[in-house]
């Protein structure tokens, strides 16, 4: 019997097979890690037995989704409603029937976009569950897709319009194909940035951070940080929703990004 196995540490799903893969290349990479108990695998069915998803309205038209109890990296995904259909930003490994029903009540999913490979998880399952919703990933990260599928669209360039007035912005650093989602009508039309891990909203939500590896404590260099800030400067945003529950810069987010970048660059230069 073939099963689409899921990595226990990062949540990445692989094509159906009789036996689990030998290893997860995402966790073998220097940005991630293999769990201290070694490479472990699970399935959607097993996940659903002990975990469930929680959906929270963050503001008008925007809902976050996260899994409880904590599984894998523990990120949240977002469902963003637009007049032209809903976008799922980032992804979770767990997709069960209660989640499918709840998302359908909110209008379903027309498109999926994911910041970087650590959150690719079961993106193909989500696409198939919602009428083959297109999955938009930057082409620079194509090699990290662990479960290829024809619903995945790899785009190239510096930005890509996505439904309504949403824009995917290419901001390489944490990964070569890292992307963020800009929502100009969010935060009462002051603009919202859905950032995933870059910039990452800190535990002190007055600050953000820029890292090559978060679990292994490897910082990005000054050149990469400057490039990320420069790529985001043309866009207006007053709020940043980070990867993890409650990690949100509520206001003055663009200035927060600027001063955080300067603080980070001063620190790695030994000037802090």
CATH of the domain at 118: 3.60.15.10
Residue 1 has pLDDT above 90, yes or no: no
The pTM (predicted TM-score) of the whole model is 0.97
Residue 272 has pLDDT above 90, yes or no: no
- Containing H/E element for 63? strand 62-68
Residue 270, pLDDT score: 87
**Is the bond leading into 199 cis (omega within 30 degrees of zero)?**
yes
CA–chain centroid gap for 189, Å, is: 23
The three-state secondary structure class of 212 is strand
Residue 184, pLDDT score: 98
Over residues 116-136, mean pLDDT: 98
CB 90 within 8 A of CB 115: yes
Residue 81 has pLDDT above 80, yes or no: yes
Identify whether 222 is part of a domain. yes
Alpha-carbon distance of 109 to 113, in angstroms, equals 11
- Containing H/E element for 220? none
The domain total for the chain is 1
Identify whether 1 is part of a domain. no
Mean pLDDT score across all residues of the chain: 97
Two tokens at 263? 């603080």
Two tokens at 256? 């927060």
- pLDDT tens column, 17-69: 999 999 999 999 999 999 999 999 999 999 999 999 999 999 999 999 999 99
Domain of residue 179 covers 6-268
In which residue are the tokens 């959607």 written? Answer: 44
Which residues, other chains included, contact 169 with Cβ-Cβ below 8 Å and sequence gap of 6+? 158, 159, 179, 180, 181, 182, 231, 232, 235
Identify whether 120 is part of a domain. yes
Helix axes 222-232, 253-268, angle to 10 degrees: 170
Over residues 116-145, mean pLDDT: 98
Identify whether 136 is part of a domain. yes
Identify whether 150 is part of a domain. yes
Identify whether 123 is part of a domain. yes
Using the Cα atoms of residue 184, residue 185, residue 189 and residue 195 in order, give the sign of their dihedral.
negative
Identify whether 163 is part of a domain. yes
């Amino acid at each position: 019997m073939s099963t689409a196995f899921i990595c226990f540490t990062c949540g990445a799903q692989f094509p159906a097979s009789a036996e689990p893969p030998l290893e997860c290349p995402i966790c073998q990479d220097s940005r991630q890690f293999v769990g201290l108990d070694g490479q472990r695998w699970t399935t959607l069915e097993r996940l659903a037995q002990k975990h469930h998803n929680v959906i929270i309205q963050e503001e008008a038209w925007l809902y976050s989704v996260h899994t409880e109890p904590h599984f894998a990296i523990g990120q949240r995904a977002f469902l963003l409603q637009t007049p032209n259909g809903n976008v799922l930003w980032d992804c979770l490994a767990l997709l069960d029937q209660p989640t499918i029903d709840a998302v359908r009540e909110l209008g379903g999913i027309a498109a999926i976009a994911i910041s970087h490979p650590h959150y690719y998880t079961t993106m193909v399952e989500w696409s198939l569950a919602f009428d083959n919703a297109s999955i938009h990933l930057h082409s620079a990260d194509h090699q990290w897709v662990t479960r290829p599928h024809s619903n995945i669209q790899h785009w190239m360039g510096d930005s890509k319009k996505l439904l309504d007035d949403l824009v995917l912005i290419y901001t390489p650093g944490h990964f070569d194909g890292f992307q963020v989602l800009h929502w100009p009508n969010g935060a009462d039309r002051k603009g919202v940035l859905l950032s995933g891990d870059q910039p990452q909203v800190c535990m002190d939500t007055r600050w953000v951070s820029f890292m090559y590896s978060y679990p292994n404590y490897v910082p990005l260099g000054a050149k990469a940080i400057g490039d990320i800030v420069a790529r985001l400067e043309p866009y207006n945003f007053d709020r940043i929703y980070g990867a993890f529950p409650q990690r949100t810069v509520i206001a003055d987010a663009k200035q927060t990004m600027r001063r955080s970048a300067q603080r980070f660059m001063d620190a790695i230069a030994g000037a802090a």
